[in-house]
Amino acid sequence: MEKLRVLVVDDEPGIRSGVSRILRNYSIGFPFMEDDFSFETIEAETGEIALEIINKNAPDIILLDNKLPGIQGIDLLEIISKMRLDTAVMMITSYASLDIAVKATNLGAYNFVPKPFTPVELKSSIENISKHLFLKRMTRKMKEEGKQIRFQFLSVLSHELKSPLNAIEGYLRIMEEKQVGENIEDYMSMIDRSLIRIKGMRNLIMDMLDLTKLESGKKSRKLIKTDLNYLANMALDTVKPLAIQHNVTLNSNIEEDLVITVDKDEVEIIFNNLLSNAVKYNHENGEVNFSVHKNNSNIEIIVKDSGIGISKEDLPKLFEEFSRIKTSETRDIAGTGLGLSITKKMVELYQGNIKVDSKPGIGTTFTIELPIA
Amino acid sequence: MINNKKLVLIVDDDPDYLLQLKTNVESFGFKVVTAENVKDALEVLDTKPDLAILDLMMETQDAGFVLSYKIKKRYPDVPVIIASSVTSETGLNFHLETEEDRNWIKADKYLEKGIRSDQLHREINKLLKL
């Protein structure tokens, strides 16, 4: 049985001995764990004493009161967070001080237990925090072993998948209760928004498939000599219906004989993402200029649109996973926040680079260079 | 005829939730004015609302608190509801039940997003003393 060391920092002797008593004969097991966890409690009545104990031998879990005689809990938390320990901190405090709660969360406190707490409350908090600690350690171990399991990514993903469902559910409830009357026409804006969110979710699933391809590693890549001229023209055909729908003109200038060793699917994803963005984020009657040509030892791909553009502040976020630029103009455009991050990763697989240049209201240009050799 | 419907200001950066809440509140028989961020909200505040419902996390994590503070400063008697999904997402709990809490957070009620519309209706009526 693995023992987790719990440090209780509280100036009230009753709380300290209470925690020790409750945890003495408590153990938890999870179906995904071979071994159960049990607990060993260490007590500290001030932050200063706690710090000494932490410096000697960092505990696994710290239960931290905020109101302490000397150094305050929140300040101790700040010191602990700077030490980057493999320790989970839980604040024991009353709800009242929200400023502390916000600050503590920002400093990495895992959870809060209100004081006074019942044994059941403490046990359930300890159970959660142990699970969190276990997952954190397992993730790190997997990373060290080269297994790229990305819990962070998955938790963001689950948020991204839940949010359209919540929105659609909300609209359906309104319709169920007939909140704006019997006339279906009065619900059209809600139906439209629901369809937009469904489309966004579908795109997300498609992007996820692209990402899976990327993450499954090099084994499944088929690198063969391919003429980019052919792939570029195919990508143009793919995006044409979308362009017609948006009243956007596609211009292209694609050099002949652009042979390069690539995986056909990956280049298709790059082309499709850039071209569909250039159409989606364009103005009515706008233009897209697509050019692919040789430039020294690179193949240069330029996608230029006359669209809504991206502000300077938003540019750095552009290639981050799940980042979507929120403006009134992008609200009704179905996007997942994954397309460009995938595109960038694909380009980097070829030791290439991607650059973006944009002026709000005028348009955006993406330039990609892929080394031929 | 004088229009004596009460005016409710709703501020939320999620356009879907905003539209849904607006529909909800209008179906209770109130007039609704909406804004998607703190800046726009401050602009529409020239007309005094009878009640405000604010999202917590918008431009910043505590935008709702900041806006609530500004509303209270300008119109001390306008009740403010903070609506957020922060509890279900982070496990953090906010209560506004004691005088001390209300001194800190200038709002009258904290509600979790996704509450049933009849509950919301009851809370609004309570704050408007209807």
Which CATH number is B96's domain given?
Answer: 3.40.50.2300
Of A179, A197, A326, the CB nearest to B24: A179
Radius of gyration of chain B (CA): 14
pLDDT digits (tens, 9 = 90+) for A6-36: 999 999 898 899 999 999 988 887 765 667 8
Q: Is A188 on the interface with B (CB under 8 A)?
A: no
- Between CA A337 and CA A324 the distance in angstroms is 5
Q: Is residue B106 part of a domain?
A: yes
Residues within 8 A of A (CB atoms), B 14-73 only: 14-17, 19-20, 23-24, 26-27, 36, 61-62, 65
Q: Is residue B66 part of a domain?
A: yes
State residue A367 phi and psi, 5-degree precision: -120, 125
Q: In what order do the strands lie in the sheet with B7-11?
A: B31-35, B7-11, B51-55, B80-84, B109-112
Q: Is residue B81 part of a domain?
A: yes
Q: Considering its fold, how many domains does chain B have in total? A: 1
Domain extent, residue B89, equals: 7-127
Of A134-138, A157-161, B79-83, minimum mean pLDDT range: A157-161
Q: Is A170 on the interface with B (CB under 8 A)?
A: yes
pLDDT for the residue A190:
92
Closest CA of chain B from A172, distance in Å: 10
State the pTM of this model: 0.53
pLDDT for the residue A148:
46
pLDDT at B78 over 90: yes
In the structure, what pLDDT confidence band is assigned to residue A50 with cuts at 50, 70 and 90? very high
Question: How far from each other are the two terminal CA atoms of chain A, in whole angstroms?
Answer: 56
pLDDT for the residue B21:
93
Among residues of chain A, what percentage have pLDDT more than 70? 88
Q: Coil, strand, or helix at residue A223?
A: strand
ipTM of the complex: 0.73
Closest CA of chain A from B45, distance in Å: 21
pLDDT digits (tens, 9 = 90+) for B15-73: 899 999 999 999 999 999 999 989 999 999 999 999 999 988 787 777 888 898 899 88
pLDDT at A216 over 70: no
Residues of A in contact with B62 (CB under 8 A): 102
What stretch of H or E contains B71?
helix B63-74
Over residues A38-55, the mean pLDDT reads 93
Q: Is residue B43 part of a domain?
A: yes
Q: Is residue B123 part of a domain?
A: yes
pLDDT digits (tens, 9 = 90+) for A150-201: 555 665 666 677 778 888 988 998 999 898 899 999 999 999 999 988 988 8
Q: Is residue B76 part of a domain?
A: yes
pLDDT for the residue A6:
94
Closest CA of chain B from A130, distance in Å: 16
